[in-house]
């Protein structure tokens, strides 16, 4: 067991990639705090699944884009548990062409994806330093941190920002023994990109052809990367990105939102 007696906070942990990472960590003995925004039912169901794996688990409500809510959640959790791991996974996306992006869509994605990552990242870093904990932090980004995707401009910008956030944190927190990295996810069918699949007919089959490994990623693929980055196996890895995207970036992966004629 890589994480026996350790506790992890996973933001956006009730569904999709976040839930998959929760399960992956729990299978290695990690106790989990499942952060959610509004879907308590989904969070409670995830907590029940984690407990069935033999670990302790609980849900914690907070919108990471709101600093007061993050501080409240952190105070509540750390009054009961000693945290060792942060998985910053909460994220949203709006599908809009650049000319159609609205200030509302910009603010919505920036607040959750980038400000939210900063809020929880700084709060956890301060906790680690104050508690003298050599913690692990992993931000879930996307291969769009490197290459833009049509109709996902703001999302791509936010993920690029999170990449730099992680590098800044890694640089300044290294002296405290804190490792900070990102997991750049490829195409995985979750709630966040279901609209993209609906907007572009044939996208699933098209990507299966474009991706060198000829399949979409799974939440388990992402969880495997998280387990590595949060364990002692990665003690000499910081400020880096693990790309879990099946090789799409080496095969014009940025040209995915195209409908075949």
Assess whether pLDDT exceeds 70 at residue 21: yes
Q: Write down all domains in the chain, each with its CATH number in brackets.
A: 7-255 (3.40.50.720)
Q: Answer yes or no: pTM beyond 0.75.
A: yes
**Could you tell me which residue, 221 or 261, shows the higher pLDDT?**
221
- 177 class by beta-carbon count within 10 Å (0-12 exposed, 13-18 middle, 19+ buried): middle
* Interval 120-125 mean pLDDT: 98
Q: What is the mean pLDDT of the chain?
A: 93
What the block records as the tokens of 72 is: 């409240």
- How many residues are given for the chain? 261
**Quick check: is 108 catalytic?**
no
- Segment 185-240, tens digit of pLDDT: 998 877 766 767 777 777 788 888 888 898 989 999 999 999 999 999 999 999 99
Assess whether pLDDT exceeds 60 at residue 261: no
Strand 241-244, strand 7-10: pairing? unpaired
| Catalytic entry in 36, 108, 155, 228 | 155
State the pLDDT at residue 199.
Answer: 72
Nearest to 188 by CA among 11, 1, 15: 15
Nearest to 144 by CA among 131, 120, 163: 163
Q: How many of the other CB atoms lie within 10 Å of CB of 13?
A: 32
Q: How far apart are CA 102 and CA 220, in angstroms?
A: 34
What the block records as the tokens of 238 is: 């910081």
Assess whether pLDDT exceeds 80 at residue 51: yes
* Interval 43-72 mean pLDDT: 98
State the pLDDT at residue 250.
Answer: 85
Phi/psi at 237 (5° precision):
-120, 120
């Amino acid at each position: 067991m890589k994480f026996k007696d350790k506790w992890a906070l996973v933001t956006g942990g009730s569904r999709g990639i976040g839930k998959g990472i929760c399960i992956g960590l729990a299978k290695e003995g990690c106790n989990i705090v499942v952060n959610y925004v509004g879907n308590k039912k989904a969070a409670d169901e995830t907590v029940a699944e984690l407990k069935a794996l033999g670990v302790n688990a609980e849900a914690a409500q907070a919108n990471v884009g709101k600093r007061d809510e993050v501080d409240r959640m952190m105070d509540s959790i750390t009054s009961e548990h000693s945290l060792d791991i942060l998985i910053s996974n909460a994220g949203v996306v709006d599908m809009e062409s650049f000319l159609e992006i609205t200030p509302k869509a910009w603010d919505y994605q920036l607040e959750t994806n980038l400000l939210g990552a900063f809020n929880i990242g700084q709060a956890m870093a301060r906790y680690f330093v104050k508690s003298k904990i050599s913690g692990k932090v992993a931000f879930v980004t996307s291969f769009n941190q490197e290459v833009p995707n049509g109709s996902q401009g703001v999302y791509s910008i936010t993920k690029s920002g999170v990449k730099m956030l992680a590098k800044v944190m890694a640089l300044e927190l290294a002296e405290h023994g804190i490792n900070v990295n990102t997991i750049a996810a490829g195409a995985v069918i979750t709630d966040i990109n279901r609209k993209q699949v609906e907007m572009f007919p044939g996208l699933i089959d098209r990507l299966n052809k474009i991706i060198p490994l000829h399949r979409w990623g799974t939440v388990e693929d992402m969880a495997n990367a998280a387990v590595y980055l949060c364990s002692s196996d990665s003690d000499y890895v910081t400020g880096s990105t693990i790309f879990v995207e099946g090789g799409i970036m080496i095969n014009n992966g940025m040209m995915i939102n195209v409908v075949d004629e």
